[in-house]
Amino acid sequence: MIKAILIFNNHGKPRLSKFYEHYSEDTEQQIIRETFHLVSKRDENVCNFLEGGMLIGGSDYKLIYRHYATLYFVFCVDSSESELGILDLIQVFVETLDKCFENVCELDLIFHVDKVHNILAEMVMGGMVLETNMNEIIMQVDAQNKMEKSEIKTRHILSCIPQYKIQYHSHHSCHYYGDLTVPLFQCTSRIRDH
């Protein structure tokens, strides 16, 4: 099982941290610092696996990492996970990020953190690997993006109609016009009629 996924730059600044076990915020920060210290002091020509730090489980856990340009991608896993399988998962994650952001860089991880978390959620959930097929992951991410764009477009269209005061309630699939409740599909058909 995957215990944590960390991405940090060459200076130890975290760019993504996803923990699949509960830790206090202070402990998470200490884990990130300890992991950076363990991984960054290693030579480039040594293997990409090492024992986990004391805060994240010691010798019962492994840190498996890859260093790409200015970023370290680190997965902390228990002994049931295959080191080579996790290295392959890191490669799929990086290639997926590269396809989604067209030549991914550190700034993409900073400014599009929600999209990075969505990509990661398509691959790993609750510490378990869900998907390793990059094409399937990209297809799901593209479907999410289309849905978001559609929702934004619908909200924009409805907000441009001055005679309607629109209150959007995410727990309902309808909009409220004063005391009248109208399903969203009727709102959009009404707009087309005007």
CA distance 6 to 110: 14
Model pLDDT for residues 133-143, shown as the tens digit of each residue: 999 999 999 99
- Cα–Cα distances in angstroms (integers) from residue 31 to residues 20, 27, 40, in the given order: 13, 6, 14
Return the pLDDT at 163.
Answer: 52
| pLDDT tier for residue 120 given thresholds of 50, 70 and 90 | very high
pTM of the model: 0.75
Q: Within 10-112, where are the H helices?
A: 25-40, 83-101, 106-111
pLDDT over threshold 70, residue 17: yes
